[in-house]
């Protein structure tokens, strides 16, 4: 057989195999994340909207008190695209992400953020008005997290929240945005992390026990 034809067939087979395996990996990751969310939050009603094949899904949950609603997006790396995956992962620094907004019945007033310092430096988490925020570094087992705050009361509240989260959860949880005035928290997690379920349960319990204003 012509060597060039063999090369073409080999490349086509490699691309096809990568497409199949990447699709299967991403779909399994998303299904597992969704199953985990449903186990932890037991939504009364749920809606899922695909946002591009195995790229991701949007979700909306109607929840029981002390929560009201959860909105979220699962986005995955382009594992099916053998040429784009290295660019996305290593050059653009993209990751699998589970982005959640959890609306609560009532939270204490205030606004602030908890984010790992390394992620904040490379802008892995987009924050509004970050130039106006004060920063307080906090060390947890050799890793530095930043408390971003407008006033010391919020700083102290964020510090208490950070100390209550286990090290296992902090491996999975990239970011917490606390918006007490509007009664919601924003979360960014790794949907494929083995600690996803315990991390979600810890955050759920933390918000359940958070004193109202």
Please count the structural domains in the chain.
Answer: 1
The band of 201, judged by pLDDT with boundaries at 50, 70 and 90, is very high
User: Can you give the pTM of this predicted structure?
Assistant: 0.84
pLDDT at 169: 93
DSSP sequence for 165-190? S-HHHHHHEEEEEEEGGGTEEEEEE-
pLDDT at 190: 94
Across residues 83-100, what is the average pLDDT?
68
The band of 192, judged by pLDDT with boundaries at 50, 70 and 90, is very high
Q: Which range, of 67-76, 86-95, 105-114, averages the lowest pLDDT?
A: 86-95
Residue 12 has pLDDT above 70, yes or no: no
The band of 93, judged by pLDDT with boundaries at 50, 70 and 90, is low
The band of 213, judged by pLDDT with boundaries at 50, 70 and 90, is very low
Which tens digit of pLDDT belongs to each residue from 124-138? 566 766 677 889 999
CA neighbours within 13 Å on the CB side: how many for 50?
A: 7
Domain of residue 111 covers 3-209
């Amino acid at each position: 057989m012509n060597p060039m034809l063999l090369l073409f067939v080999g490349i086509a087979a490699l691309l096809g195999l990568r497409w199949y395996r990447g699709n299967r990996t991403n779909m399994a990751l998303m299904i597992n994340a969704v199953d985990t969310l449903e186990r932890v939050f037991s939504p009364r009603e749920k809606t899922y909207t695909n946002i591009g094949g195995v790229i991701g899904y949007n979700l909306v949950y109607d929840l029981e008190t002390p929560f009201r609603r959860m909105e979220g997006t699962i986005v995955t790396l382009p594992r099916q695209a053998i040429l784009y995956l290295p660019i996305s992962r290593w050059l653009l620094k993209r990751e699998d992400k589970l982005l959640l907004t959890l609306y609560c019945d009532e939270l204490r007033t205030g606004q602030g953020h908890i984010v790992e310092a390394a992620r904040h430096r490379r802008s892995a988490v987009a924050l509004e008005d970050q130039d106006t925020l004060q920063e307080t570094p906090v060390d947890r087992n050799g890793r530095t997290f930043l408390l971003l705050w407008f006033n010391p009361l919020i700083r102290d509240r964020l510090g208490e929240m950070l100390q209550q989260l286990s090290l296992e959860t902090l491996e999975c949880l990239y970011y917490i945005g606390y918006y007490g005035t509007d009664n919601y928290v924003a979360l960014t997690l790794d949907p494929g992390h083995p600690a996803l379920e315990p991390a979600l349960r810890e955050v759920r319990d933390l918000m359940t026990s958070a004193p109202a204003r």
